[in-house]
């Protein structure tokens, strides 16, 4: 068995057997296969795809390249949730405590921002003192005490995926549905939760640009989860517009807290109720109607806010933000973006908003860039709102950028007024 024969088979659309897939994953991870040969294989996969069976074996080979998480010390049903990435997506900060209120445990490992999309760990680190890196025993202890904990991803999980992803990013082979599915599912299965909910985004601010692509990815990931013996479900949701009114780390935590305080009940609240209900149903807490009522009550009663407060405290963070969001970091500079004509907002391009937030300092242009936790955007208007010339559409915030002239033009160009 050798890598050249495997490359040739994929190039000629011949199916790989399990042993061949395990061979190239093991040998690439160990350094026995060079980057240039793996790049060739990845490009062949990108062009010719893989079958569902091949993708499952690829997922399991990447899973078995490292350690897995043992959640047997958690005293109840566990569920993991993953979003494929978006702009303004702070749903985990709301649904994890809401599920915990309803008796479902959420032990979650999350990532940092990638490109124009935000990361849950970056958002949590905007809370003063919040520790995202914990010893495993403390992580499990917090989950048992409060029902949920969110920490940074373990470097020992799926090392093959990390090495392959870095190569995909450098060789233009990211946009392959089998490679995306195996990357996500290997990490989710490594966490070993009883159930998995996948929020697959589509639209301008997502990696999947069309609903059809998102449905294909969702179907494949759900199939992999079921083949691995997990209760797995995918929700396909819209990311053509930013999620909620705030984009940026501390600003998104502020918005999440305000929803948990019962102050906001817009589209973000509705999505969080939907996702929470689906997680509860997957965990066997009732039918969808019953689980929706449970989700609404968990948030509206303030109980989810109390769970969030308790978990922040156990992570060493400033839990007083749950009462006073002004204790979150605030920006030194701000700039109001105003409408240049009358009309109806027909489009808010999520990707462009994400890039604007990144340029303000909320995301990373280089791998090791330090984030400006105060940076981001707060909207005054949403899609389909009527505006008049001179109305404020959004406010830009930063503590590192004081000249907003170029960035504000990009922000304004992301909005279409008809």
Residue 80 is a catalytic residue = no
**3-state class of 41 per DSSP?**
helix
Whole-number Å distance between alpha carbons of 285 and 299: 17
Q: Which of 82, 90, 233, 315 is catalytic?
A: 82
Instruction: Compute the chain's Rg from CA coordinates.
Output: 22
Closest by CA to 100, choosing from 305, 244, 324, is 305
Question: For residue 214, what are its two tokens?
Answer: 């998102």
Whole-number Å distance between alpha carbons of 231 and 222: 9
Q: What is the 3-state secondary structure (H, E, C) of 95-141?
A: HHHHHHHCCCEEEEEECCCECCECCHHHHHCCCCCCCCCCCHHHHHH
Q: Which of 90, 116, 163, 187 is catalytic?
A: 187
Whole-number Å distance between alpha carbons of 37 and 359: 35
Q: Which of 182, 183, 241, 350 is catalytic?
A: 183
Q: Which of 81, 123, 162, 168 is catalytic?
A: 168
Whole-number Å distance between alpha carbons of 104 and 295: 11
Question: For residue 114, what are its two tokens?
Answer: 């990638």
Residue 254 is a catalytic residue = no
Closest by CA to 71, choosing from 140, 154, 132, 133, is 140
Whole-number Å distance between alpha carbons of 276 and 294: 9
Residue 315 is a catalytic residue = no
Residue 8's φ and ψ, nearest 5 degrees, are -60, -40
**3-state class of 203 per DSSP?**
coil
Residue 82 is a catalytic residue = yes
Q: Which of 89, 161, 235, 372 is catalytic?
A: 161
Whole-number Å distance between alpha carbons of 253 and 258: 9
Just list the catalytic residues. 82, 161, 168, 183, 187
């Amino acid at each position: 068995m050798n890598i050249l024969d495997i490359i040739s088979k994929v190039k000629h659309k011949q199916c790989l057997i399990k042993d061949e897939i395990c061979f190239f994953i093991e040998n690439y991870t160990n350094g026995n296969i060079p980057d240039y040969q793996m790049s060739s294989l990845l490009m062949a996969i990108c062009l010719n795809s893989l079958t569902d069976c091949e993708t499952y074996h690829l997922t399991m080979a990447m899973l078995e390249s490292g350690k897995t998480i043992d959640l047997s010390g958690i005293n109840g049903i566990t569920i993991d949730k993953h979003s494929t990435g978006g702009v303004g997506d702070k749903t985990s900060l709301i649904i994890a405590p809401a599920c915990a209120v309803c008796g479902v445990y959420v032990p979650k490992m999350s990532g940092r921002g990638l490109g124009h999309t935000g990361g849950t760990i970056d958002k949590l680190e905007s809370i003063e003192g919040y520790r995202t890196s914990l010893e495993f025993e403390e992580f499990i202890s917090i989950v048992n005490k409060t029902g949920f904990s969110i920490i940074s991803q373990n470097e020992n999980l799926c090392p093959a995926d990390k090495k392959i992803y870095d190569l995909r990013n450098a060789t233009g082979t990211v946009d392959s549905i089998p490679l995306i599915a195996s990357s996500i599912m290997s990490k989710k299965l490594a966490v070993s939760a009883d159930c998995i909910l996948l929020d697959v985004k589509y639209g301008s601010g997502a990696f999947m640009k069309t609903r059809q692509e998102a449905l294909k990815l969702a179907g494949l990931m759900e199939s992999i989860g079921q083949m691995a013996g997990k209760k797995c479900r995918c929700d396909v949701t819209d990311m053509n517009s930013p999620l909620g009114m705030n984009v940026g780390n501390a600003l998104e935590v502020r918005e999440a807290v305000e929803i948990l305080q019962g102050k906001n009940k817009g589209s973000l609240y509705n999505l969080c109720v939907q996702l929470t209900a689906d997680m509860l149903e997957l965990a066997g807490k009732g039918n969808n109607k019953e689980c929706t009522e449970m989700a609404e009550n968990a948030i509206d009663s303030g109980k989810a806010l109390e769970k969030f407060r308790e978990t922040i405290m156990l992570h060493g963070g400033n839990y007083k933000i749950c009462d006073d969001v002004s204790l979150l970091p605030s920006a030194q500079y701000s700039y109001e973006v105003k409408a240049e004509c009358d009309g109806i907002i027909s489009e808010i391009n999520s990707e462009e908003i994400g890039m604007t937030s990144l340029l303000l300092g909320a995301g990373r242009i280089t791998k090791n860039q330090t984030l400006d936790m105060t940076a981001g955007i707060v909207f005054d208007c949403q899609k389909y709102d009527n505006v008049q010339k001179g109305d404020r559409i959004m406010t830009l915030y930063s503590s590192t950028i004081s000249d907003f002239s170029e960035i504000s033009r990009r922000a304004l160009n992301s909005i279409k007024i008809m």
